Structure 1
């Protein structure tokens, strides 16, 4: 699942899974394949349409980074990573074996690898490296470097465990000769060969003192930039390499146009915003509706050249919402969860708090063709029919639930009356204005958060729940306590983002499976604690599929079953990226379809004055 196409944008590409492309012959560096249609750039003669191949090189781009950093090694488990470096995917310093197209949800093209050969039995894949590929120290990128990289990040205990999870089905990696490397799989996996294509490769000479002792060592990469300067807690400066080995490849034409990309570090969001307004930061993605509506309204800023621009995107927005912990009563009651979902007044919150800038998500795959709609299609029924005995009847005979809307004239009151009736029918009762559960206990819930930005919206929900006789306590804690309580499943309700790509894969198991429900949650863990055999059966289908159409049917089937269980109360999302930047940059005329806003700017914009 490519993480740069997720709900929360980042300034670097991060990827952990991609929709598999079906091929049996080697795919060369200037070729790529896409499922269900010819690859858009398959002739190998043209670069990506969302980059300008004639973009001039030069100038600098200054970004801001919130937080701090104390390690140069992005692959270590411990430490705060250097701004500008991601653990996976395309970035400044490290090239990958292959790169994604942002115009296609399921196409990739060779970079370090000049061709890829997937075995007919899909139990191994062989990459042949481009003989021109060079590390920053001048060494050729060889098969031994790929083997070293993979073994280091998956076997060294000091490495982040992310890699061990995603590459668990790789039995071993073998250097066949200097430029050919083969990954052997424990079982056929529809996407694993392309996940492997997204590993950042570093030189086997990177850690002479050992990986665990190299927190202040930046591995030797082959990417377009080198680390020129850094000051912990203050700034990072990357300098473009004029000797970058891949700069003439069609898939690199028009990319990486700034001579310097700098990150200035800020610890406070207000200081960050003020630095942008003062011209100390050149560009940012603005995810605060309040800031977008009010922070940049001073006419003098516009006169000085500060611009605000929204860019449309087709990214799979996933689902952000209130995740209900079904490990606890009364949240283990689907009727209670359904009634609870009626109480959230998105429309009022959007207008009064978010300046009308958001839409309401409706699916675990919002804003994509993977979202279920209406009654099950013929393709979905092929997935669902074998599980009919394990599924509630409404999955088959009722349209997939959509978030409840609030009447502009009557407000949330009709929804609350409907919720009250559902609760009474489910066996709850009222006593002195309080909702009483089936055991005679008042219904009290706690919303746990570590961010003040969610308090105002939760406060409106809190008041509406009180009208149902439900007490909602809002508990704001620091990040350490928040993480500890999540690890111990000690919460009723949290805000959670189900981050998705255009091409869902094995990460769905981590989000929704019974096994994940019993495992302390990770970045995309099973926060609601759901454990349904039918859902597990559908999740197995993500390990192997033969066409894009099959993936769509499986995704919609999963989405339909999950939504009928009301595990999550949807909050809000945007199908636009809101960018604020100073008027000294130009951008390509063509927008990509699936992209992160600052990533696109970093990689394809250029300096004009």
Structure 2
């Protein structure tokens, strides 16, 4: 048996190299004795979920939301904003091209109609004890990289080490912090061992979803280096060509090793997928009207309500639809950079947020297509409502004194409801009172601190289309006495400034899951607050939040999880770390009428990877001179 052990500490990994075999034997004996002592059942399975529920059995043939007979062929094109200068999406350097992750397979992959299930992809089966303190992945013998080289356990182990040492900080801070060791048991068997006191519920899924790279490439190249040459992969698509950050074209791998696996049947149907990049979103929409690309997920309420009457729509060449979005959709807003002293007082943050008049914006700008966001798990059953329940109070009691007292005595915070006039003077007076309490005074119409310094903020904005939303907000802030700058900068510069926390306020949307766990450390955890390019964009550091995240990660059933997430939602809302914007609970999509899709729409995805090119529809458009 060829055994290798890697740890989450690279220096330890190097020191252990000389004793690999002895250590592997020692670990095997330790695991065996532990197994006997605990009398744990060892589970062998085709999939795994956080709480054990799997919709699809070991003999399933395909997901319910695909057409197993979908033809292969055609193309799918969409758009991206700005540009890109890298094809390596897992590292800190560079601005990676959209969808570059489709080049890579993982040990397991998810379904779009379950909240947290994973099924075998590169891994044929998994073995793990009931405690989930370790997991063994059994790799399929037919799994191959694009060059035909077999995927081995060593490739998986070396990929983990590359991500830990040189990947984005979030891997080290949240995903890998509880990995004790990675052990190559033989060519096709790999074992992850986790810290016994770690939140073990989601650990198998976390490591099972990591991308896999070839060991031979990693040995000869610097994984941390940004490049327009991708790391070799094994996924359903590979790079065909790109042109200086203006577009990227992926081609389907015709002899893709995993095409007939149950998790892939009916998916990955297009021969080509192309993403066109535009520096301006208005130009991008005009190009769609001219059929410059074939699919658009619309994010502008104004355009959706007023601009989808162009000739291609009228002629029936382009279809427009609204699909239900079953995911928590509301974590969108402007986020404060709380590392800056002027934003450290929650009264200041609350006052600034009050000046965004959603009611007026929805009436005047959004055509009443949106609802106001107030929860971090908006549009889901995880949203906190009203006063805390007895179960929530029990969860919150240990963080008393670490979080605002209002969490225990008041309903979950909801943004103030303004009159549908741009400036609600009642709200203005309340915001001004909060600023006075925080130590600011009004001098010649300008808010100044005790040293006479004006209060100035800058919005980080890379979209001219967003100006119509920002500008009325800015005008209200100026009436409060705040000086505001909001220059439009290019997308690459904005991304770089976000990475290095060089902003006051920035807009961002988080896709929160229905089974949250350790990934919350990377968004709200204190350890991620000052690490570049983590998702903790606001710099939140709060012991109470850290405690609740750990409680969520350790939840043993879904009922317990739901209560703990609602408690965290309640706390986060009380801290005023963002200015919540709006949500719709729907996907607004438009596409050239050359596609067909399955009858079943899964709740957690638009599911375009199960669409297919419909040659009969395409022939109609060819006859009309469209194609």
- The TM-score range, normalised by the shorter chain, is 0.7 to 0.9
* 1:255 Cα offset (Å): 0.8
Change (3 A) 1:489 1:259: closer
* 1:545 Cα offset (Å): 2.2
Superposed counterparts of 1:79-98, under 5 Å: 79-86=94-101, 91=102, 93-98=103-108
* 1:105 Cα offset (Å): 0.9
2:456 paired with 1:448: no
* 1:148 Cα offset (Å): 2.8
Question: 1:249, 1:231 → 2: CA distance?
Answer: 33
Change (3 A) 1:552 1:217: same
Q: CA RMSD in A?
A: 3.2
Q: Which residue of 2 aligns with 1:164?
A: 172
Question: 1:72, 1:484 → 2: CA distance?
Answer: 16
Which is bigger in relative contact order (C-alpha 8 A, separation at least 6)?
Answer: 1
Question: 1:211, 1:294 → 2: CA distance?
Answer: 49
Q: Which residue of 2 aligns with 1:200?
A: 211
Superposed counterparts of 1:327-406, under 5 Å: 327-328=339-340, 331-406=343-418
Q: Which residue of 1 aligns with 2:14?
A: none
Superposed counterparts of 1:167-186, under 5 Å: 167-186=176-195
Q: Which residue of 2 aligns with 1:555?
A: 565
**C-alpha offsets along residues 400-457 of structure 1, whole Å, 9 cap, x if unaligned?**
11121223489723323443455567776655555565x3747623132132344332
Question: 2:210, 2:454 → 1: CA distance?
Answer: 49
* 1:464 Cα offset (Å): 2.3
Q: Which residue of 2 aligns with 1:15?
A: none
Bigger shift: residues 419-428 or 163-172:
419-428
* 1:390 Cα offset (Å): 3.6
* 1:357 Cα offset (Å): 2.7
SS at 1:292 equivalent? helix
**C-alpha offsets along residues 452-482 of structure 1, whole Å, 9 cap, x if unaligned?**
3443323212322344444444454556765
**C-alpha offsets along residues 3-37 of structure 1, whole Å, 9 cap, x if unaligned?**
xxxxxxxxxxxxxxxxxxxx9643433x544627x
Q: Which residue of 2 aligns with 1:60?
A: 75
Q: Which residue of 2 aligns with 1:100?
A: 110
**C-alpha offsets along residues 292-313 of structure 1, whole Å, 9 cap, x if unaligned?**
3344322454305012212111
Bigger shift: residues 232-241 or 250-259:
232-241
Q: Which residue of 1 aligns with 2:274?
A: 262
* 1:113 Cα offset (Å): 0.9
2:579 paired with 1:569: yes
**C-alpha offsets along residues 338-369 of structure 1, whole Å, 9 cap, x if unaligned?**
34433221121223233333222111121222
**C-alpha offsets along residues 81-132 of structure 1, whole Å, 9 cap, x if unaligned?**
344312xxxx2x3221111121111211111112222345543221111233
2:282 paired with 1:274: no
Bigger shift: residues 191-200 or 301-310:
301-310
Between Structure 1 and Structure 2, how many residues are aligned?
A: 572
Change (3 A) 1:24 1:559: farther
Contact 1:317 1:365 in 2 (8 A): yes
* 1:499 Cα offset (Å): 4.2
* 1:217 Cα offset (Å): 4.4
Change (3 A) 1:591 1:27: farther
Change (3 A) 1:223 1:530: closer
* 1:316 Cα offset (Å): 1.6
Q: Which residue of 1 aligns with 2:256?
A: 244
Contact 1:122 1:189 in 2 (8 A): no
Q: Which residue of 1 aligns with 2:154?
A: 144
Bigger shift: residues 143-152 or 361-370:
143-152
Contact 2:457 2:482 in 1 (8 A): no
Contact 1:516 1:526 in 2 (8 A): no
- 1:129 aligns with one of 118, 136, 139: 139
* 1:235 Cα offset (Å): 4.5
Bigger shift: residues 428-437 or 135-144:
428-437
**C-alpha offsets along residues 15-67 of structure 1, whole Å, 9 cap, x if unaligned?**
xxxxxxxx9643433x544627x421135324222211222222222333444
Contact 1:72 1:82 in 2 (8 A): yes
2:609 paired with 1:602: yes
Question: 2:226, 2:441 → 1: CA distance?
Answer: 61
SS at 1:99 equivalent? strand
Question: 1:429, 1:64 → 2: CA distance?
Answer: 47
Bigger shift: residues 321-330 or 125-134:
321-330
Bigger shift: residues 242-251 or 326-335:
326-335
Q: Which residue of 2 aligns with 1:26?
A: 43
Contact 2:43 2:130 in 1 (8 A): no
- Structure 1 residues not aligned, in runs of 5+: 1-22
Change (3 A) 1:203 1:551: same
Segments of 4+ moved more than 6 angstroms: none
Bigger shift: residues 237-246 or 476-485:
476-485
Contact 1:289 1:357 in 2 (8 A): yes
Q: Which residue of 1 aligns with 2:51?
A: 35
Question: 2:568, 2:443 → 1: CA distance?
Answer: 39
- Structure 2 residues not aligned, in runs of 5+: 1-39, 619-627
Question: 1:520, 1:189 → 2: CA distance?
Answer: 22
Bigger shift: residues 296-305 or 474-483:
474-483
* 1:567 Cα offset (Å): 2.3
2:309 paired with 1:297: yes
